[in-house]
Structure 1
Amino acid sequence: MDFERSDALGEKASPDLGRVPTKIEAEEVDHGADTQLHRSLGTRHLTMVALGSAIGMGMWLGSGTSLVHGGPASLFIGFFIASTVIWSVCQSLGEMAVMYPLPSAFVQWTTLFVSPAAGFALGWGYWFSYWITIANELQGVVTVLSYWTDAVPTAAWITIFWMVIILINVGVVKFFAEVEVFSSTVKFSWMFVAIIAMIVITAGGAPAEGPIGFRYWNAQPVKNGFKGFITVLPTCIFSMAGSENAALVATEVSNPRRSMPKAIGSIWLRLGLFYVLGSLMITLTVDPSDPDLFGGSGSDASPFVIAFKNAGIPVMAHITNAVIFISVISTGSISGYGGSRMLMGMAHVQMNHRIFGKADKMGRPWAGYIATIGIGGSLAYLNVSNAGAEVFTWLSNLVALLTVFGWGMICITHLRFRYAWKLQGRSDEHLPWRGLAFPYAPWYGLSWCILIIIIEFYLAIWPLGERPSARNFFANFVCIIAVVCIWICAQIWYQCPIWNDASAIDLDEFRRFYADHHDEGNIPLKKPLFQRLKVLFE
């Protein structure tokens, strides 16, 4: 059989706790592990969300800012480093999501394996990043559309596409998933075309340019020295923020043990094709001193668009801009989805008001949608009175910091989970799915996350090209200060230890059981899941 046993079936199976429910029973009763979410998504949806969720304005537009500040070598190396970090994090993420596919995923894992205070800080920090990302993506819409026309007021564009993000999310979950499948397909299909075209441009096959080769690398591989290089890293991290959203979708997937490994296994395509090879093509075809680059003094265009425009292929420049537009809307809608599920998961572990833990009969958490998309859309109006690149820098730095904090906590949680698993005498062979390169991958990811936070702290005090100021520091580092304060307050409120006792953690209490897994045939089903998590707070 290829379906899972869920805690939601506990009472129905109580006369015979060793009995495996029939498939009909699972379909009738199982709607999301004690939540009102529906498990209506499949492997295709999860894979495409994993592939496309992090492809937004960070790569399409932010890479232009990085090229201006750091030069071609800095941009390429920065994306390569960031790719290795998120690959490591995703190995931890996948293993945990198969075992514990919960609504707020890493927040509930951290609460269980680290401490309630850590989970509380992580949950609210991540929720901040979701609505900040919505604001940044709406700001990106204005930049993308300004390539074609400046006739429409900025506030009007923000309002129109704020409504679009709302409409995508308030439909049934399957509609949202199909939108993401479509947008991810468009992104990757066009990326294949764009990379091949940029190789041709570099070789001298473009109408308006001769051979380029490594002209820009030879001229100035690194701009602004080492400081220019480290300035690139936050934007590279921001470009990959959202890769972890696949873990949030896992709770609404029918069989995470089958779907999640495929989603994690496909990450090499995004990292290798889109980020590493894509960034290399940018450095070969676009002059870092081009005034039209996003963050420069001209039209604030994407480096991909500029590459085709300068090569004398305006049709491809327009198509690329349209694909960027789809990407930005897609990332904004995913952030609305992720933020609403984050609030729901926190409500179920008493970290949020219980109203956020409810969904309607179609599986839509309305309170979470209103809070996340409402605040994010409102914040986007900052772009009305400030330059787009300036707003992007503020918001992307905040998201990058919250992201590396979240990635670091995912790595710590995975290490703690494996420690508890071994301490309690269990074999790794009994895990439903194992990530690669343990324990090296989580330690590698955690080390880089700590280093990047230190780099961000340094840049907040001594920013590139500006004098130190309190305004710059708080604009670029306030989210970490907020998360630390939240953590300290939560530690005092819950009066919990820094680390939960690994020997006392119930490793089976919150997990998803799979009927076709060889060592789970005699494990009794549990009573309702989230009602029991409250013991961690007592």
Structure 2
Amino acid sequence: MAQTSDLESPSCPQKISGDEKSIVKTTEKPVDVQNGIILDDGLQRGLLGRHVTLISLASVIGASCFYGFGYALYLSGPLGALIGFGIVGFIVWALMQSVGEVTTMFPIAGGFVEHAGRFVDPAFSFAMAWMYYFMWSVFLGSEWNGAILILQYWVPEEKMPLYGWVIVFWVFFSILTTLGVVVYGEIEYYFGWFKIISFAVCFFISFLVNVGAFGNGYIGFRYWNPPEGPIVNGINGFGQVFVLASAYYVGTEIVSLAAGETKDPRNSIPTGVDSVVYRIVFVYMGVIFFQGLICPSNAPELLNAESTVASSPFTIGFVQAGWKSAGDFINVLIVIAFISAVNGCIYVQSRVLYSLALSHRAPQVFAITSTKGVPYVSILTSVCWGFLALMNMKVTAGQVFAYMTSVGGSAAYIAWAGIVFTHLRVRSGLVKQGINPSTYPFKAFGSIWIYRFNLFLNVFLLLIQGFTAFEKPFNWRLFVVSYITIPTTILLFVGYKLYHKTRWVRLSEMDFSDRLLKIDDEDEVKKVSFINKLTAKVRH
């Protein structure tokens, strides 16, 4: 990495505190300006703080959050699902603290993928990046498959074949996702608010259903008693919820990937990181709780491996209470959530692929961008992974959902473990080089042992999440989809390391020269920002 120059960047001034008089300087590399658009590493820094906050909070709250949580109820009952999502919720909270500390310090294109190569080992970054890309590719197919499940409520297969929906999705999202990062940010901002408000409405209606406001009688915690609850299928069902939970929580870390296209990462990233608590409590825990109140875990309409069509637990509960047209209302919410989630999914895929191409770990064609900083080759390639949904032409849509969730969920634990491990390495390097924690623009909460424990949890759950495959008779299909990601990651790591002869980055050799630093003197910052703007105008 290049050392800090005396010529200040036109973007992010920094203040270094010490015993001497405070010095204000920048460590970000110069950006490029084309046609009035700020580009960094070829990408447009078009995301505002409000975009980042909503992306972190609601971007990947997809259609499956309405109906897929029914699979958790089916597997483990209302309390079992709530406990499972709560444990994984803690993992994600700690993960985002790790993301916030490293990403705010180094807001670069590729986010945690590039951090892994810079502070751990390029081979580690390579394996982590490609596994993360494949994970989101699987989730894209899963989202399309799930949307088809729901849309068949209105349009049966006799009127619209399964492949017809896939073609419609392919055309629509190919256009939408190439409109640029500003359009992406605005869509996620307004759709994010829509999804949050939708959940609040569903929670309120669920409360009314629970107290008998529809004339259905008081429910209370009826479904938390046998045979519907509180925990069903014992340890087997509970264990499978961990995989499902990781598949739904994954995506909070995209704040790190979005940092390369964020105008003010020093302030925007911490805000986005802090908002994840609300996502965990309000969205995931709230949905599980209210769906478990009004919908029995043994309802035949719930999504499971045998499903060809499925209903949301909200729909099931509302209909049982007497609202016969509830399916239309919920499905409208699902379709809008589907558009937003797929938009976010393709964004993550394309930015990871773009980052790989920039660092010569993928074909250079994927590094091509438009004059507005849109990596359209990476985007259009990533959209094509949605055709995985065509698997539902051979097996049931429920089986496709279960298989894709297992693959994606196990890959999520690998990605999270890699992010936490990178954070621990960065923190060790900072300590080794005697860098004062007071200069961190964002410091992870509490003791470093929280994050060591989080690394252990991720590895532990990765290893046990497919244990039901070992029951008699041995379920080889479940074993493959649960553990295929582990040897794949090892193969990617070892292959790249042997071919390129990379080596582990030593703590004393880590380059922190271009890190962002904490700023306390806002007046001084404004003064330097004004000088930087003048410098930028002279240059261009």
Could you state the TM-score of these two structures normalised by the residue count of structure 1?
Answer: 0.87
Give the Å deviation of 1:42: 0.4
Partner of 1:536: none
Letter paired with 1:216:
Y
CA distance 1:297–1:337, shift in 2 (3 Å): closer
Q: Which residue of 2 aligns with 1:70?
A: 76
Match of 1:300 among 294, 310, 313: 310
Paired amino acid for 2:225:
N
Cα distance change on mapping 1:420 and 1:64 into 2, 3 Å: same
Matched, 1:218 2:218: no
Alpha-carbon displacement from aligned partner over 1:138-179 (angstroms, at most 9, x marks no partner): 111101112223132111112112222212211122112111
Counterpart check, 1:508 vs 2:516: no
| Range with bigger deviation, 196-205 or 247-256 | 196-205
Aligned-residue offset at 1:246 = 1.4
Measured against aligned partners, the alpha-carbon deviations of 1:22-49 in whole angstroms (never above 9, x if no partner) come to: xxx9784797775111112201111111
Is the contact between residue 70 and residue 222 of structure 1 (CA under 8 Å) also seen in structure 2? Answer: yes
Q: In structure 2, do the counterparts of structure 1 residues 58 and 448 end up closer, same or farther at CA, with 3 Å as the change threshold?
A: farther
The one of 326, 345, 351 equivalent to 2:355 is 345
- Tell me the SS of whatever aligns to 2:43: coil
Change (3 A) 1:288 1:481: same
Matches within 5 A, 1:241-252: 241-252=250-261
Partner of 2:334: 324
Kept in 2, the 8 Å contact 1:162–1:377? The answer is yes
Counterpart position of 2:372 = 362
1:334 matched to 2:344? The reply is yes
Equivalent pairs counted in the alignment come to 505
Distance in 2, Cα, partners of 1:301 & 1:147 = 9
Residue aligned with 1:422, SS: helix
Answer yes or no: is the 8 Å Cα contact 1:241–1:399 preserved in 2.
Answer: no
Residue equivalent to 1:83: 89
Partner of 1:435: 444
Cα 1:26/1:474, change in 2 over 3 Å: closer
Report the counterpart of residue 495 of structure 1 in structure 2.
Answer: 501
Aligned partner of 2:204 among 182, 196, 206: 196
Q: Note the alpha carbon deviations across 1:357-410, whole angstroms, 9 max, x for none.
A: 231101111221122112x12212112222111000111111111111111111
Deviation at 1:453, TM superposition (A): 0.7
Secondary structure in structure 2 of the residue aligned to 1:445:
helix
Q: CA deviation at 1:343?
A: 1.3
Residues 137 and 329, structure 1, Cα contact 8 Å, conserved in 2: no
Quick check: 1:206 aligned with 2:214? yes
- The answer to whether the aligner puts 1:313 opposite 2:323 as a matched pair is yes
Q: Measured at CA, do residues 305 and 10 of structure 1 come closer, stay the same or move farther in structure 2, by a change above 3 Å?
A: farther
How far 1:237 moved relative to its partner?
1.0
**Match for 1:103 among 88, 109, 121?**
109
3-state SS, counterpart of residue 232 of structure 2: coil
* SS at 1:170 equivalent: coil
Partners of 1:517 and 1:407 in 2: CA distance: 35
Give 1:515 deviation, angstroms. 7.7
Distance 1:199 1:113, change over 3 A: same
Contact map agreement 1:7 1:34 (CA 8 A) in 2: no
Matched letter for residue 513 of structure 2: D
1:59 aligns to what? 65
Quote how far apart the aligned CAs of 1:476 are. 3.1
Residues 390-469 of structure 1: matches in 2 within 5 Å? 390-462=399-471, 467-469=473-475
Shift of 1:19: 8.6
1:535 corresponding residue in structure 2: none
Residue 373 of structure 1 aligns with an amino acid whose one-letter code is V
Structure 1 stretch 198-207 or stretch 118-127: which is displaced more?
Answer: 198-207
Q: How many Å separate the matches in 2 of 1:45 and 1:297?
A: 36
CA distance in 1, matches of 2:153, 2:196: 22
Partner of 1:3: none
Secondary structure, in 3 states, of the residue corresponding to 1:508? coil
Report matched runs for 1:109-258 at 5 Å: 109-150=115-156, 151-207=159-215, 209-219=216-226, 220-258=229-267
| Letter of the structure 2 residue corresponding to residue 408 of structure 1 | A
Structure 1: runs of 5+ lacking an equivalent: 1-5, 526-538
The answer (yes or no) to whether the contact 2:223–2:297 under 8 Å persists in 1 is yes
In 1, Cα distance between equivalents of 2:46 and 2:6: 17
User: Could you say if the C-alpha distance between residues 60 and 10 of structure 1 is closer, same or farther in structure 2, counting changes exceeding 3 Å?
Assistant: farther
Is contact 1:141–1:158 with CA below 8 Å preserved after alignment?
no
- Map of 1:389 onto structure 2: 398
Give how far 1:205 is off: 1.7
Identity %: 26
When structure 1 is superposed on structure 2, of 476-485 and 169-178 the one drifting more is 476-485
Alignment equivalent of 1:378, drawn from 355, 367, 387: 387
Contact 2:244 2:406 in 1 (8 A): yes
Supply the AA of the counterpart residue of 2:510.
I
Give CA deviations for 1:313-360 in whole Å, capped at 9, x if unaligned: 244442222111211221112111111111121222232222222311
- Between the aligned partners of 2:383 and 2:492, the Cα distance in structure 1 is 22
Query: Could you say if the C-alpha distance between residues 65 and 389 of structure 1 is closer, same or farther in structure 2, counting changes exceeding 3 Å?
Result: same
Cα distance in 1 for partners of 2:264, 2:5 equals 15
Question: Is 1:92 matched with 2:101?
Answer: no
Q: 1:299 to 1:358 in 2, by over 3 A?
A: closer
Tell me, in whole angstroms, the C-alpha distance in 2 between the residues paired with 1:194 and 1:243. Answer: 23
Quote the offset at 1:500 in angstroms. 1.4
Structure 1 residues 304 and 517: CA distance shift in structure 2, 3 A: farther
Structure 1 letter corresponding to 2:368: K
Distance 1:301 1:8, change over 3 A: farther
Q: State the secondary structure of the residue aligned to 2:44.
A: coil
Q: How far apart are the structure 2 equivalents of 1:114 and 1:248?
A: 18
Task: Measure, in 1, the Cα distance between the counterparts of 2:7 and 2:64.
Answer: 44
Give the counterpart of 1:485 among 488, 491, 500: 491
The 3 A distance-change label for structure 1 pair 83 and 124 is: same
Which position in structure 2 is the counterpart of 1:40?
A: 46
Q: 1:19 to 1:64 in 2, by over 3 A?
A: closer
